[in-house]
Amino acid sequence: MSFKSSALLLALGLSLSFSAAARIVCCDVNGKRTCGDPPPPQCDARAKTVFGKGGVAKEVEAPLTAEQRAAREAEEARKKEEERKAAEQARKDRALLNSFSNEKELDAARDRSIADIEKNAEQAKNRLESAQAKQKKFDEEKEFYLKKPMPANLKKQMEDNEREIATQQKALEQKEIDIAAARARFEADKQRYRQLSGRK
């Protein structure tokens, strides 16, 4: 029998055995092909080829180590986060183009937003000035109680007024931050709008 005939018969025999078996597993062990049903124990921690009914082959990766699993999970999480950011940016881009027809509309929206903040800031400023005026009166009243106990009611009013001053001062500081943030946000939107509309 020739070499070719022997090889053909061997291949045919393997094919028939794979077809008859429900599941045959093969893997490389030290450079040698090892197969079996049940699967050889040496294949447990290696990449393997699984032959099902009809000799259909399926490649199976080697089990991942703990470090490899962690790295894969981190990579998958990174990709998901990138996809989420891309989807969010696409949503913002659509909203930007649907909301404004030109840069003048963007500028007008910016001015309206800042005007609303400034209106609230003006209210906080008025309340602060009112509280500061009260504070002056309270300071004058304190002069009468340098040598005697201050009435509890007056003391409470002074403490409440001091808190009001601190609250309105903080509110005014926040309004300044909000205005700067609004300007920066609309400037970024304008730059993005130019990119999306192909303008420089």
51 is a domain residue: yes
- Residue 105 in any domain: the answer is yes
Domain of 143, in residue numbers: 101-197
Q: Please say whether the beta carbons of 138 and 156 come within 8 A.
A: no
Number of domains making up the chain: 3
Give the separation between CA 21 and CA 7, rounded to whole angstroms.
21
| Mean pLDDT by groups of 10 residues along the chain of 200 residues | 42 45 79 84 84 80 84 93 96 95 95 97 96 93 86 93 97 97 96 83
> Do 39 and 51 reside in the same domain of the chain?
yes
Q: Does residue 43 form part of some domain? A: yes
Same domain, 93 and 161: no
Residue 150 shares a structural domain with residue 113: yes
In a domain, 3, yes or no: no
pLDDT at res. 87: 97
Domain co-membership, 105 together with 170: yes
Rounded to the nearest 10°, the torsion over CA 80, 82, 84, 90 is: -150
Phi first, then psi: what are they for 84, rounded to 5°?
-65, -45
Residues 69 and 139 in one domain: no
The reply to whether 8 falls in a domain is no
Q: Is residue 5 included in any domain, yes or no?
A: no
- Do residues 121 and 170 touch, judged by C-beta distance below 8 A? no
Same domain, 111 and 127: yes
105 and 192 co-located in one domain: yes
Q: Are residues 108 and 188 in the same domain?
A: yes
Query: What pTM was computed for the model?
Result: 0.59
2 within some domain: no
Q: What is the pLDDT of residue 2?
A: 47
Closest C-alpha to 52, from 21, 82, 28, 97 = 21
Same domain, 83 and 40: no
Does a structural domain hold residue 134?
yes
Give dist(CA 195, CA 193) in Å, integer: 5
